[in-house]
Structure 1
């Protein structure tokens, strides 16, 4: 079995965790790093995202806070609650980069925003890969 558990560097772990909890209505599993690391999970306990404070533990990609966070990265989430999450993004006063539209690749509706650290998120209606994906 292989699972992907993305870890992103953030300026304020608690603020970012609270923001993601509000956006996705997800859980915090209070990671092994205290206020330096947080694990966000869905109701089944699957990891959605890990938040790691910059310049902790000597991780080579998290040492230089002057780089642009997320350059070349899209945090892509598939959900059966697209409208609810879009509404939460608005309540969080999050700038909508691209509002809900149909993706020419997946054929599914999606929208895009940036989080507190300017990571780019695309939230898509849930779909299985291989069915209409170009």
Structure 2
């Protein structure tokens, strides 16, 4: 089993570019209404869907201000130091970190994406 999270966004193309730059991934589908982001092996890691496109009944309500209340988009990255360089180059606002999470035995940094979702990048388990 492999998770395939999908989030609703205001601008699929802009969000796709943001995540590609942040995560070092690439487009696996492309388009203004729907996108699949894939890793270097072609495995899907995230889906982006335009609000209102295709009128999905259970996608959510765009008028609700808080996005993902109770949900985090959590990505384990292979090179945490390189991820920090990408974050700085993109001028992304950091909510917290980078910090050491002793319980999880890794480093992590907490961010906010352009649509208000909380994104966490975490290093490899046991890296310290």
> TM-score, normalised on structure 2?
0.90
SS in 2 for 1:35: coil
Between the two proteins, the alignment pairs up a number of residues equal to 125
The separation in 2 between residues aligned to 1:58 and 1:3, in whole angstroms, is: 26
SS in 2 for 1:87: helix
The separation in 2 between residues aligned to 1:69 and 1:55, in whole angstroms, is: 15
> In the alignment, is the contact (CA less than 8 A) between 1:20 and 1:26 conserved in 2?
yes
1:63-100 Cα offsets, whole Å, 9 max, x none, are 41111211111011111211111111121111001121
CA pair 100-51 structure 1, distance change in 2 beyond 3 A: same
> In the alignment, is the contact (CA less than 8 A) between 1:40 and 1:47 conserved in 2?
yes
- Name stretches of at least 5 consecutive residues in structure 2 with no aligned partner: none
> In the alignment, is the contact (CA less than 8 A) between 1:70 and 1:120 conserved in 2?
yes
CA pair 61-72 structure 1, distance change in 2 beyond 3 A: farther
Q: How do 1:63-102 residues align onto structure 2 when only pairs under 5 Å count? A: 63-67=60-64, 68-102=66-100
Q: Which runs of 4+ in 1 moved over 3 A?
A: none
Aligned to 2:43: 46
1:85-133 Cα offsets, whole Å, 9 max, x none, are 1111121111001121111430211111011111101111122xxxx7x
The separation in 1 between residues aligned to 2:34 and 2:107, in whole angstroms, is: 32
The separation in 1 between residues aligned to 2:60 and 2:67, in whole angstroms, is: 11
> TM-score, normalised on structure 1?
0.86
The separation in 1 between residues aligned to 2:12 and 2:118, in whole angstroms, is: 17
The separation in 1 between residues aligned to 2:56 and 2:124, in whole angstroms, is: 33
Aligned to 1:27: 26
Aligned to 1:10: 9
